[in-house]
């Protein structure tokens, strides 16, 4: 393990920090300001959900073309562009301009640059430049994201004790501009030589040529493993977006939810350290079929149990799946397609994940509006997991 960390510590630091700051565009972070945003813009829960979905859907559509630029552009320039974009989106939330259109563009910016582009850059970079240690590198980068999940809610709550909610977004913007962007260039200072070594290591055969988007989507592997890859983003975002509804129906409390986030973060980190070494030791296509197992257990807890303890078990399993799934899915697509085309492949994957995360709040919201409860939502989620896993089992030798 020590040899792994001294292999390229600056690039590992890049992966850790970019995944951490990508959290500013994640659902869990934005949902911390749900009530404040709705009150400021005079929106109902459904209206805000619709704007959130539209901004996220737009992000996913544009991401398909934009994110593959990482295959053709210097990583330093690409990372600077998306980091600056996220900083501007956070700064826009600070501006006191009461316009629904303005909010739509803010949500789009947060989702596009944060959840989409920065997460895509972190995962693609780790997959590309760490070969035999790809699983551990993906786990370490994802660890940065999980550290954010653990501590950002606590930091936000503390900041809200003595400043307005819009000032919290100003602080978020400044941390990107003052802290992350300078460290970005320091961590990628030798990127030209690093990328040259990567190019030299690629054997220019037919199998390693750059693939077009069309060549990727007509390959059957894309349809075999895409459902497995986007099942967790779809289910996870939907459950998190409607978490207040869930805890109310279950009889749980908001204070319990805040404490549960600590367990979620701890178990996501445990999952990262379990998933990474497994990937480096075994074939990802054969082991990825187990990547949604913790989430399936979490869904079963939601279906059958209502006690206070069950909430902490549910969030722990949810976190464990987040940790295990991140390196598994990241490594899978590097194994299925050649590294030279990894940016284009991950661009499609990121776009599909963002698209899925936009649909689930709406879909689960309509289920709730129709009078159904958590049992129906959990059952739908379990069916999605079952079908996605079964598909990859049947065709795992393809």
What the chain holds in terms of domains, given with CATH numbers, is 2-394 (1.20.1250.20)
C-alpha closest to that of 136 among 16, 290, 301, 263: 16
Q: How far apart are CA 59 and CA 63, in angstroms?
A: 6
C-alpha closest to that of 8 among 202, 188, 272, 196: 188
**Which residue do the tokens 């994957």 mark?**
349
> 3-state SS of the chain: helix, strand, coil percent to 5?
85, 0, 15
Q: How far apart are CA 346 and CA 124, in angstroms?
A: 7
Q: How far apart are CA 166 and CA 164, in angstroms?
A: 5
Give the chain's largest Cα–Cα span: 60
pLDDT one digit per residue (tens) for the chain, 398 residues:
566 666 678 888 999 999 999 999 998 899 888 878 988 999 876 778 788 889 988 988 888 788 778 878 888 999 999 999 999 999 999 997 889 999 999 999 999 999 889 988 988 888 777 766 777 787 788 888 888 888 888 888 889 888 999 999 999 999 999 999 998 888 888 777 777 776 666 655 444 556 666 666 677 777 788 888 888 889 988 888 777 788 888 888 767 777 787 888 888 888 877 776 676 666 666 677 778 889 999 999 999 988 889 989 999 999 898 888 766 776 676 666 655 556 667 667 767 777 787 788 778 877 887 888 889 999 999 999 999 888 878 776 55
Q: How far apart are CA 165 and CA 147, in angstroms?
A: 22
Tokens of 19: 């995944």
Contacts of 61 (CB under 8 A, 6+ apart): 351, 355
pLDDT at 205: 43
**Strand, helix or coil for residue 153:** helix
Contact of 365 with 46, CB cutoff 8 Å: yes
């Amino acid at each position: 393990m020590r040899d792994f960390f001294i292999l390229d510590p600056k690039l590992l630091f890049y992966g850790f920090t970019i995944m951490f700051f990508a959290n500013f565009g994640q659902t869990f972070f934005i949902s911390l300001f749900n009530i404040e945003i709705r009150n400021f813009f005079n929106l109902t829960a459904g209206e805000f959900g619709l704007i959130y979905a539209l901004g996220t859907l737009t992000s996913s559509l544009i991401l398909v073309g934009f994110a593959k630029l990482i295959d053709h552009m210097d990583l330093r320039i690409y990372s600077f562009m998306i980091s600056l974009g996220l900083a501007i989106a956070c700064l826009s939330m600070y501006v006191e301009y009461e316009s629904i259109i303005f909010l739509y563009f803010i949500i789009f910016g947060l989702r596009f640059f944060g959840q989409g582009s920065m997460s895509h850059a972190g995962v693609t970079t780790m997959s590309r430049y760490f070969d035999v240690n790809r699983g551990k590198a993906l786990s370490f980068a994802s660890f940065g994201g999980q550290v954010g999940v653990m501590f950002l809610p606590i930091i936000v709550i503390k900041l809200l004790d003595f400043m307005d909610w819009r000032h919290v977004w100003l602080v978020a913007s400044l941390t990107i501009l003052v802290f992350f962007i300078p460290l970005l260039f320091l961590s990628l200072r030798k990127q030209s030589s690093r990328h040259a070594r990567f190019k030299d290591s690629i054997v220019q055969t037919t199998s390693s040529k750059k693939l077009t988007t069309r060549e990727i989507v007509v390959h059957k592997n894309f349809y075999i493993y895409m459902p497995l890859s986007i099942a967790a983003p779809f289910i996870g975002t939907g459950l998190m977006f409607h978490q207040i509804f869930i805890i109310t129906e279950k009889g749980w409390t908001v204070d319990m939810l805040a404490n549960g986030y600590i367990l979620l973060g701890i178990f996501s980190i445990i999952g990262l350290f379990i998933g990474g070494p497994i990937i480096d030791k075994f074939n990802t296509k054969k082991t990825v079929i187990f990547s949604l197992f913790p989430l399936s257990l979490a869904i079963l807890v939601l279906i059958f149990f209502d006690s206070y303890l069950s909430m902490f078990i549910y969030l722990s399993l949810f976190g464990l799946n987040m940790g295990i799934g991140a390196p598994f899915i990241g490594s899978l697509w590097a194994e299925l397609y050649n590294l030279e085309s990894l940016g284009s492949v991950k661009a499609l994957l990121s776009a599909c994940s963002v698209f899925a995360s936009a649909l689930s709040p709406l879909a689960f919201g309509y289920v709730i509006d129709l009078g159904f409860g958590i049992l129906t939502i959990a059952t739908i989620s379990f069916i999605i997991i079952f079908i996605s896993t079964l598909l990859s089992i049947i065709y795992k030798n393809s």
